[in-house]
Amino acid sequence: MLKLVRYLKNYKKESIIGPLFKLLEACFELLVPLVVARIIDVGIRNQDIPYILKMCAIMVAFGLLGLCCSLTAQYFAAKAAAGFGTELRRDMFAHINGLSYTELDKIGTSTLVTRMTSDINQAQAGVNLVLRLFLRSPFIVVGAVIMAFTIDVKLALIFLVLVPVLSVVIYGIMLLSIPIYRKVQGRLDKVMLMTRENLSGVRVVRAFSRQEDEMRDFEQESGGLMKIQMLVGRISALLNPLTYIIINGAVILVLWAGGRTVDMGGITQGELAALINYMSQILLALIALANLIITFTKASASAVRINAVFAQKADMKEGSGAVTGTGTAGKQVPKVAFDHVSFAYKGNKESLTDINFKAMPGETIGIIGGTGSGKSTVINLIPRFYDAAKGAVCVDGTDVKDYTYRQLRKKVGIVPQNAVLFSGTIRENIKWGKPEATDQEIEEALIIAQAKDFVDSKQEGLDTKVSQGGKNFSGGQKQRLTIARALVGKPEILILDDSASALDFATDARLRQAIADRTEGMTVFIVSQRAASIKNADRILVLDDGRQAGLGTHEELLENCQVYREICLSQLSEEEVKR
Amino acid sequence: MKKKKGNRETYLRIFELIKPYWYLIALSLVFALVSVALTLYAPVLTGQGIDLIIGKGNVDFDGLVPILIRFAIVVGITAAAQWLMNLCNNRVTYHVIKDIRVQAFNHLEELPLKYIDGHQHGDIISRVVTDVDQFSDGLLLGFSQIFTGVVTILGTLIFMLTINLSITLVVVIITPVSLFTAGFIAKRTFSMFQEQSKTRGEITSLVNEMVGNQKTVKAFSHEEEAQEQFDEINERLRDCSLRATFFSSLTNPTTRFVNGLVYTGVALSGALIALRGGITVGQLTCFLSYANQYTKPFNEISGVVTEFQNAVASAARVFELIDEEPQVAEDAGAVVLTPQMADGRVELENVAFSYSPDTPLIDSLNLSIRPGERVAIVGPTGCGKTTIINLLMRFYDVDSGEIRVADIPIRHMTRDSLRTNYGMVLQETWLKSGTIADNIAYGRPDASREEIIEAARSAHAHSFIERMPEGYDTPVSEAGGNISQGQKQLLCIARVMLCLPPMLILDEATSSIDTMTEVRIQKAFAKMMKGRTSFIVAHRLSTIREADIILVMKDGHIIEQGRHEELLERKGFYAQLYNSQFQQTV
């Protein structure tokens, strides 16, 4: 939590004024019992009605002043907390934008989302509460004890014993119950997981007729949740009765000892009443503090999770943009060159070993191999989503590490394996590839991507709404739109990462034809599992378990690459292989 | 008016849920009465005590001792009653929410697929988890606070009346002011809260998209635009969150101020009456503490009422889910289809089906499959291939026409027995959290480890499972993050291999398994499919070529059907599809 305090630095004024006014308000509250004591001791005893009226007026005035102070405090606290949340959120979003794929893989995007939303909200609520109440409660406790001392030192000693005993009980119960609350949360997560699983796997559950078992498991899990909730309920149910006993035990003591003191003339009757009043103020303050601590523990747990994101530093350094190798050598320079590249995902064994090939401008390169053979990894190195461990990846003769991200990624149009669309319109989605694209350019891209027909068939055409994640489009439609998005910026390098998997083979074939016909000079990488999709490429890179098993044309590879031959024969008939 | 009635129904339903625990509620009520009554009696004793301590040399110790002893006993009983009451409330609440949650979940298993496919899963989950939780909070609070609150208010009133009428009137007249201000503020802030949660929702969905798909954002260097969009919403959130927090936090100090007024009113009128000897000083202190206790429940109740309203709204959402119409009940005499009966004959007669009435999908579909035939379904995306699976498995019921398995209409069979006679591998693999062995044995939980390994072997999954850190006991994390897509499919295949039902449904099953393994898988499949009627939704020519019947679908109709060679000769849509695959493309 402390690390996040810096987000309050623009709100120094607010964070000081807030608690300060809260303390002022507490002062007024602490004075009230003394005023009442005066009424009893002076007013009633001396039958002084004007005095009583005066004292009551003072009480109302104190109340009004307290109200004003408190409102001021609330306002500044709310302002500081809202500012805190806003700046924290902005920074975190920017930080996430700056992370590289390696860190994203490590943290996982779904937890990033919860950290950005609910954790920050939690922290913001914590700050708000702390600014308002954190100083107030201890202040009231200390203040009440001091007031007690001003009344009578010996009787105040009872207070000195009472406060620690109460604190031990309240915080003891909290210490006991907080870890159990955490367990409750864990159980609740499990219940949520089971529900989610049963929804996403509804077909499988029913296909295997396992509904009854699932119900039984769920009942068991919720039963477990219930037991642990009751356990923690039993513990926290002790809080009120125990504090009630302690505080009233103290009242008995005060009455007894106070009676003696009054008898000896040490204090007055009204002062005795004031002492009892302070007692209940202490109790209320301590209970408020206990609630506050619960919120605060939640907030600091969130703060830890937030800080963990900030601690995640991008380990790739962006290049300066001073590009050296272009131009002069003209056509001789390969568009993309892998120079003995090896790569390993963080903490894993090498997943690419010694990849070495060149793609000349305008060439189409097919990449084929089994699952986990490293196909996607190879193409992820081109726009520098990851850095090679050994060797270098060059685009236009310059190491990708020397480009700025924007420079490099502008050259590359990538169509990722799972088609992701964003909420907005079709037009807005396509424009991701080129923010200033005209409708004509968009149409052109849609034609190549074989998406024009179905976009035209929509009533609103390019303005058709895309819901979050593109849920209102079929898998094949989404894939074609993502292809159009990559094409619209006329990238120099186009990467299709198994992006036609949801297309039927007729559409897939038309798509490849269109890319070949209409995108002159574009270097194209096609990653696929289907031999038919890549067999006509200029060159084919065959990967097997992260190693380069072959490189050449279809015919060459059939001649001399065992792995490639096996792939082809498994998918195509003898006659088709030769066609 | 209608909403009111809906609310009342919800209350009745909640009441029904609570009814089985009526004895606990009754106990809780008794304890509440005891604790409140004694809590109110305690200040009387304190007051009496103070009255005995008048001044120097004027303290009645003999009178004080019995009062203090009585006080101690009262305090002890009060604490015990409070504790027992809390225990009862806890018990009722947690049992009730467990009941309602289990009821909701069980209903999910009964709902037609149409509901589950047609609703956001997140929404359903939040009903089962978050809403039930919200309901439980409200219920607990309602029990413990509303009830004791009402009793406290009534009790203090009675106690105050027994002491002095006019001071009581002062209290009764001033307190509604506090109630009124609290209500006023709550009403005004409600719209601000709504605005805040709307803006929060906006920011959450933006974060969901941009952070959830961060890789795509990076690939298109879209970071700056995303940040701009984010900043805009974020600034708006700052404003409305400031407003909502500030105005809602007004309630507490304001009501506290009003309470201060009540307190002063009591002090003033009490002092004046005490002057005339109407009450003693002890009674005055006692009154002052009543004034505090009397106003407290008012403050709390206004908070509790909103919480309780939320709880009722949440309960209504859960009930909505529970009330959702379950799938059509099975016939009383529904046939249980045994694997012996299922000889592999499947007939579709005049089948019509659509997901929504205004877009007809399948109509007059006729098909007759002989035992052991291999049926490949091909066609462009969106032509209705997966719909056929939905109908065969009876995930959806046909709108008209009939599907028969072994001459028995599937409408007259138990769903479970029909489904267990199909082995299904879907395009979207699904694994349950649990170990790999659990997942393979999903269809037959009693399978021995040997059988599981055997199934994994025939699905060619054994070798990669062996290489996992804990072999067959490796846990599968949610969504199977530690296992590749291809491996997940192998596991799904192993799951079917273990059961070996008489009919098979394969939905592009092998589309992301690497080519090496695929050869072996296809051999295993061939073995498995031998003698078994199989439906395969396929994109692969190799699979299609070996099929006994190819159904070529387009726009919900079967436009061609026959063997590969026949269809090629016909030079129709299939031939077109097939040839386009091998056009010279580069």
pTM given for the model: 0.70
The answer to whether B209 and A423 have CB atoms below 8 angstroms apart is yes
> Residue B252 burial by CB count (10 A; 0-12/13-18/19+): exposed, middle or buried?
middle
Q: What pairing do the DSSP bridges indicate for beta strands B408-409 and B362-369? A: unpaired
Coil, helix or strand at residue A124: helix
Interchain CB distance below 8 Å, A202 and B116: yes
* B218 interface with A at CB cutoff 8 Å: yes
Looking at residue A237, the DSSP 8-state letter turns out to be: T
The answer to whether B232 and B195 have CB atoms below 8 angstroms apart is no
Nearest chain A CA: its distance from B343 CA (Å): 19
Question: Measured between alpha carbons, how far is A192 from A362 in angstroms, rounded to an integer?
Answer: 51
Question: Measured between alpha carbons, how far is B390 from B387 in angstroms, rounded to an integer?
Answer: 5
* A251 interface with B at CB cutoff 8 Å: yes
| Closest CB to A255 among B54, B68, B445 | B68
Phi-psi region of A392 (alpha: psi -120 to 50; beta: other; left: phi over 0): beta
* A504 interface with B at CB cutoff 8 Å: yes
Question: Measured between alpha carbons, how far is B443 from A206 in angstroms, rounded to an integer?
Answer: 10
Angle between helices B165-212 and B223-248 (to 10 degrees): 180
Output the six-digit token pair for B352.
């019509």
Q: Nearest-CA residue of chain B relative to A371?
A: B514
Coil, helix or strand at residue A296: helix
Residues of A in contact with B510 (CB under 8 A): none
| Closest CB to B57 among A214, A255, A263 | A263
To which residue do tokens 């696929």 refer?
A528
What residue type is B81 in one-letter code? A
To which residue do tokens 């920074």 refer?
A91
Q: What pairing do the DSSP bridges indicate for beta strands A493-497 and A523-528? A: parallel
* A314 interface with B at CB cutoff 8 Å: no
Question: Measured between alpha carbons, how far is B220 from B168 in angstroms, rounded to an integer?
Answer: 73
Please report the ipTM that was assigned to this predicted complex. Answer: 0.79
| Closest CB to A509 among B217, B284, B580 | B580
Question: Measured between alpha carbons, how far is B455 from B467 in angstroms, rounded to an integer?
Answer: 17
Radius of gyration of chain A (CA): 36
> Residue B115 burial by CB count (10 A; 0-12/13-18/19+): exposed, middle or buried?
middle
* B520 interface with A at CB cutoff 8 Å: no
CA atoms within 13 A on the CB side of B311: 20
* A262 interface with B at CB cutoff 8 Å: yes
* A417 interface with B at CB cutoff 8 Å: no
Output the six-digit token pair for A143.
């203040």
Residues of A in contact with B42 (CB under 8 A): 248
Give kind and range of the element (H or E) at residue B143.
none
| Closest CB to B95 among A205, A226, A576 | A226
Interchain CB distance below 8 Å, A74 and B56: no
List all residues 6 or more positions away from A389 whose beta carbon is below 8 Å from its beta carbon.
A342, A343, A344, A350
Looking at residue B145, the DSSP 8-state letter turns out to be: I
Q: Nearest-CA residue of chain A relative to B543?
A: A571
Using CB atoms and an 8 Å cut-off, which of residues 233-272 of chain B contact chain A?
234-235, 237-239, 241-242, 245-246, 249-250, 252-254, 256-257, 260-261, 263-264, 267-268, 271-272
* A322 interface with B at CB cutoff 8 Å: no
Nearest chain A CA: its distance from B89 CA (Å): 9
The answer to whether B412 and B331 have CB atoms below 8 angstroms apart is yes
Angle between helices A269-311 and A239-263 (to 10 degrees): 150
Nearest chain B CA: its distance from A328 CA (Å): 28
Q: Which domains does chain B have, with CATH numbers?
A: 2-164+279-323 (1.20.1560.10), 430-500 (3.40.50.300)
CA atoms within 13 A on the CB side of A463: 2
Question: Measured between alpha carbons, how far is B508 from B527 in angstroms, rounded to an integer?
Answer: 18
* B545 interface with A at CB cutoff 8 Å: yes
* A246 interface with B at CB cutoff 8 Å: no
Closest to A335 (Cα-Cα) out of A308, A364, A310, A309: A364
Question: Measured between alpha carbons, how far is A479 from A416 in angstroms, rounded to an integer?
Answer: 9
Q: What pairing do the DSSP bridges indicate for beta strands A336-344 and A390-395? A: antiparallel
Other CB atoms within 10 A of residue B165 CB: 10
Using CB atoms and an 8 Å cut-off, which of residues 452-511 of chain B contact chain A?
478, 484-487, 495, 499, 511
The answer to whether A243 and B86 have CB atoms below 8 angstroms apart is no
* A164 interface with B at CB cutoff 8 Å: no
The answer to whether A352 and A391 have CB atoms below 8 angstroms apart is no
> Residue B122 burial by CB count (10 A; 0-12/13-18/19+): exposed, middle or buried?
exposed
Question: Measured between alpha carbons, how far is B560 from B572 in angstroms, rounded to an integer?
Answer: 8
Question: Measured between alpha carbons, how far is B466 from B248 in angstroms, rounded to an integer?
Answer: 59
Output the six-digit token pair for B150.
């009402």
Using CB atoms and an 8 Å cut-off, which of residues 143-172 of chain B contact chain A?
none
Using CB atoms and an 8 Å cut-off, which of residues 302-331 of chain B contact chain A?
none
Q: What is the pLDDT of residue B9?
A: 83
Residues of B in contact with A364 (CB under 8 A): 586
The residue of A44, A76, A576 whose CB has the most chain B CBs within 10 angstroms, and thus the best one to mutate to test that interface, is: A44
| Closest CB to A195 among B105, B216, B235 | B105
* A228 interface with B at CB cutoff 8 Å: no
Interchain CB distance below 8 Å, B577 and A504: yes
CA atoms within 13 A on the CB side of B437: 15
Interchain CB distance below 8 Å, B82 and A67: no
Q: Which domains does chain A have, with CATH numbers?
A: 2-152+267-311 (1.20.1560.10), 330-578 (3.40.50.300)
What residue type is A430 in one-letter code? I
Interchain CB distance below 8 Å, A208 and B443: yes
Looking at residue A400, the DSSP 8-state letter turns out to be: G
Residues of B in contact with A25 (CB under 8 A): 253
Interface size between A and B, measured as CB pairs under 8 A: 454
The answer to whether A282 and A165 have CB atoms below 8 angstroms apart is no
Q: Give DSSP secondary structure letters for A440-486.
A: HHHHHHHHHTT-HHHHHHSTTGGG-EE-GGGTTS-HHHHHHHHHHHH
Closest to B288 (Cα-Cα) out of A36, A228, A227: A36
What residue type is A396 in one-letter code? D
Q: Nearest-CA residue of chain B relative to A191?
A: B129
Other CB atoms within 10 A of residue B338 CB: 12
* A238 interface with B at CB cutoff 8 Å: yes
**pLDDT tens, chain A, 579 aa long:** 677 888 888 888 888 888 889 888 888 888 888 888 888 888 877 888 888 888 888 888 988 898 899 889 889 988 998 999 999 999 988 888 888 887 877 777 767 777 887 788 888 888 888 887 777 888 888 888 888 888 888 888 888 888 888 889 888 888 888 788 778 878 888 888 888 888 878 888 888 888 888 899 999 999 999 999 899 888 888 888 888 898 888 888 888 888 888 888 888 888 888 888 888 788 778 777 777 777 777 788 788 888 888 888 877 787 877 766 554 445 568 888 899 999 887 666 677 888 988 888 888 899 988 766 788 888 889 988 888 888 889 988 888 888 888 888 888 888 887 777 888 889 988 888 888 889 899 999 999 888 888 888 888 888 888 876 676 777 778 888 999 998 888 888 999 887 776 677 677 788 888 888 877 788 999 988 777 778 888 899 998 878 888 888 888 888 888 888 877 776 666 666 666
Nearest chain A CA: its distance from B219 CA (Å): 6
**pLDDT tens, chain B, 586 aa long:** 334 446 788 888 888 888 888 899 889 889 988 988 888 888 788 888 888 887 777 778 888 889 889 999 999 999 999 899 889 988 998 999 899 999 999 998 888 888 888 777 777 887 888 788 888 878 777 777 777 788 888 888 888 888 788 888 877 777 777 677 777 777 777 778 778 878 888 887 888 778 777 778 888 888 888 888 889 999 998 998 888 888 877 777 787 787 778 778 888 888 888 878 778 877 877 777 777 777 777 666 666 776 777 788 888 888 888 888 888 887 778 888 888 888 888 999 998 888 877 667 788 888 889 888 889 888 766 667 778 888 998 988 999 999 999 889 998 888 888 988 998 887 777 888 888 999 999 888 888 999 999 999 888 888 888 887 788 988 886 544 567 767 787 888 889 888 888 899 887 654 455 666 666 667 777 777 878 899 988 766 667 778 888 888 877 677 888 888 888 888 888 877 776 554 433 2
Residues of A in contact with B583 (CB under 8 A): 509, 513
Long-range contacts of B360-364 (CB under 8 A, 24+ apart): B360/B556, B361/B387, B361/B556, B362/B387, B362/B388, B362/B391, B362/B556, B362/B557, B363/B556, B363/B557, B364/B401
Radius of gyration of chain B (CA): 36
Coil, helix or strand at residue A172: helix
Residues of B in contact with A538 (CB under 8 A): 586
Coil, helix or strand at residue B556: coil
Interchain CB distance below 8 Å, A566 and B129: no
What distances in angstroms separate CA B151 from CA A9, B72, B298, B537, one per listed residue? 48, 23, 12, 68
* B196 interface with A at CB cutoff 8 Å: no
> Residue A317 burial by CB count (10 A; 0-12/13-18/19+): exposed, middle or buried?
exposed
Other CB atoms within 10 A of residue A47 CB: 11
Residues of B in contact with A406 (CB under 8 A): 221
Residues of B in contact with A116 (CB under 8 A): 207, 211
* A31 interface with B at CB cutoff 8 Å: no
Question: Measured between alpha carbons, how far is A387 from A341 in angstroms, rounded to an integer?
Answer: 10
* A459 interface with B at CB cutoff 8 Å: no
Question: Measured between alpha carbons, how far is A19 from A345 in angstroms, rounded to an integer?
Answer: 49
Question: Measured between alpha carbons, how far is B567 from B545 in angstroms, rounded to an integer?
Answer: 11
Torsion, CA B332, CA B335, CA B336, CA B338, rounded to 10: 170
List all residues 6 or more positions away from A304 whose beta carbon is below 8 Å from its beta carbon.
none
Residues of B in contact with A280 (CB under 8 A): 289, 292
What would the 3-class secondary structure string for A51-102 be?
HHHHHHHHHHHHHHHHHHHHHHHHHHHHHHHHHHHHHHHHHHHHHHHHCCHH
Q: Alpha-carbon torsion A540, A545, A546, A548, what sign?
A: negative
| Displacement of CA B282 from its chain's centroid (Å) | 55
